[in-house]
Amino acid sequence: MRSAARLRTVVALAAAVSAGACAEPEQAAPRAGGDTTVDVRTTEAYSMPAPNLDAEAFERHRAGDAAFEAVFVAAPADVNPGLGPMFNNTACARCHLRDGRGMPVAGPGPLRSHLLVRVSMADGGDVPGVGRQLQDQAVFGVEPEAVVDLGWVDVPGTYGDGAPFTLRRPSMAITLAGAPLPADVQTSLRQPPPVFGLGLLEAIPEDAIVAAADPADADGDGISGRVNRVADGALGRFGHKANTATLVLQAAAAYANDMGVTADEIDPAIVEDTAFYTQTLGVPARTGLDDADVQRGEDLFASHGCASCHTETQASGDHPVAAVAHQTFHPYTDLLLHDLGEDLADGRPDFEADGREWRTPPLWGIGLTHTVLAGSAFLHDGRARTLEEAILWHGGEAEAAREAFRTSSAGDRAALIAFLRSL
Ligand code: HEC
Ligand code: HEC
Ligand SMILES: [Ca+2]
Ligand SMILES: [Ca+2]
Ligand SMILES: [Ca+2]
């Protein structure tokens, strides 16, 4: 019953019966971000303010935009002091390039400073002297705490029709103060996700997310989404393991941990403006709605079971930011944690997320990834260079969906990708 084609047929039949007509009813173009949708599919697609901001909200968005771009420097300084002493990068916008992803580039030394490595001991606690995040940069005169050498290892495979493919997985060599990282330290390489549309995700009522969870797979469909509960039992929504409850907390943590700018070094109003910026970036409109391949790909997305986790439609409830409240939108995520199998596992639990679980990422705008930034990549650590590779890494709860894709015909694979590119 999930097939969009079947749904279209049912709708068309119902219309034909009620109106006595044969023509399919006109379909309103799905507005990816509800009233926050922007009709821009260029390199700027992720960087547009939501068009439904009022004048005051627009001014605040612009202030937040400036804060997101602001490059911090070591104190003492007149403008934006407080960087470091250790850090990963100097500005939000230097990791979330064009409000999108970072660029996962192999090599020794700083991770081109877009990616970061989370660490912890087996009991989930801090790594002594290092904490829970490796800072691989430092201000002048200070040694960074870690050097991360990122490499990629080829992983060959074949489609059901015999066509070969080659995936790549990361391989990290980490040294702390010149010595190899102790083997019992858990590590998790993370790339920055895009930051548009996030106010809508923040405004989905908690009840709706919890209601979609099926921790014991009671309905027996092989999919068992779980919620993450973070500090104080709050529902986690952001980060690759849903380890952060709100965008203000995410911004505050980024200032402190990614840039070394602590709470007593920055005006809380600026942290809030930065978060407001990520709450109010518009969502790019879909394209290709009339394209036959895209339509077939959308049907395959449903029949392969992709939509069991990448939930097409969500609705927001109340939210202090009026522009994102009470919208119907199409993020393609359930915001739940899923076991994606051993190959993607980081083995590092994060609150209630275990070492194999990841939060379903939204797929809106994903077709623009390489338009916004050629060379950027997919999945939590940027290992997937293409959408095909991203799908082929799915395992665990998503193994059946991956196999449906891997064993489908070249034409069906192309149609599914055409659909993803239309988002
Ligand atoms: C060193 C690079 C880096 C810097 C600097 C950085 N981020 Fe991030 N950001 C990341 C990474 C990596 C993640 C994923 C973290 C995770 O999964 O644990 C992330 C996640 C996020 C998310 C969650 C997005 C989602 O869909 O879940 C938001 C929002 C965000 N960052 C905002 C900011 C803001 C605001 C700043 C500046 C104050 C900032 N970031 C600075 C790398 C960076
Ligand atoms: C069991 C839940 C589940 C199913 C089923 C599923 N996915 Fe995913 N998908 C995820 C999760 C979780 C991730 C993040 C994994 C990671 O980052 O390591 C993901 C990541 C992705 C990404 C990369 C997104 C990004 O921002 O980098 C794409 C593309 C994607 N999925 C497409 C699909 C398609 C197409 C299908 C069907 C063939 C599918 N998924 C089926 C849960 C699922
Ligand atoms: Ca500082
Ligand atoms: Ca650290
Ligand atoms: Ca289930």
Task: Tell me how far apart the alpha carbons of residues 249 and 299 are, in angstroms, rounded to a whole number.
Answer: 38
Ligand 3 centre to CA of 74 (Å) is 7
Mutate to test the pocket of ligand 2, among 337, 346, 391 (most ligand atoms within 8 A of CB): 391
Task: Tell me how far apart the alpha carbons of residues 342 and 354 are, in angstroms, rounded to a whole number.
Answer: 12
The residue behind tokens 């941990």 is 257
**Residue 374 Rama label (left phi>0; alpha psi -120 to 50; beta):** beta
Q: Fill in the amino acid letter for 394.
A: H
| Closest by Cα among 311, 330, 245 to 36 | 330
Contact 378, 389 (CB under 8 A): yes
Q: What is the pLDDT of residue 106?
A: 76
Q: What is the pLDDT of residue 105?
A: 82
Position in ligand 2 atom list of the atom nearest CA 404: 38
Q: What is the pLDDT of residue 113?
A: 73
Ligand 2 centre to CA of 277 (Å) is 26
Contact 402, 306 (CB under 8 A): no
State pLDDT tens for residues 390-422: 999 999 999 999 999 999 999 999 999 999 999
| Closest by Cα among 412, 301, 318, 290 to 363 | 301
| Closest by Cα among 181, 34, 54 to 121 | 181
Task: Tell me how far apart the alpha carbons of residues 316 and 118 are, in angstroms, rounded to a whole number.
Answer: 31
Q: Considering the entire predicted model, what is its pTM?
A: 0.94
Q: What is the pLDDT of residue 109?
A: 58
Task: Tell me how far apart the alpha carbons of residues 273 and 56 are, in angstroms, rounded to a whole number.
Answer: 12
Mutate to test the pocket of ligand 1, among 258, 314, 332, 369 (most ligand atoms within 8 A of CB): 258
Ligand 1: residue whose CA is nearest its atom 42:
192
Q: What is the pLDDT of residue 177?
A: 82
Q: Which residues form ligand 2's pocket by a CB distance below 6 Å?
A: 223, 240, 301, 304-306, 308-310, 338, 340, 344, 358, 360-361, 363, 366, 378-380, 387, 390-391, 394, 397-398, 401, 405, 416, 420
Q: Which two tokens stand for residue 337?
A: 């944690």
Contact 366, 420 (CB under 8 A): yes
Q: What is the pLDDT of residue 11?
A: 39
Q: Which two tokens stand for residue 182?
A: 């102790």
Position in ligand 2 atom list of the atom nearest CA 402: 38
How far lies 34's CA from each of 80, 207, 289, 312, in Å?
35, 20, 16, 13
First to last CA, the chain: 23
Low-confidence ranges of the chain (pLDDT < 70): 1-29, 107-112
Q: Which two tokens stand for residue 172?
A: 């990290």
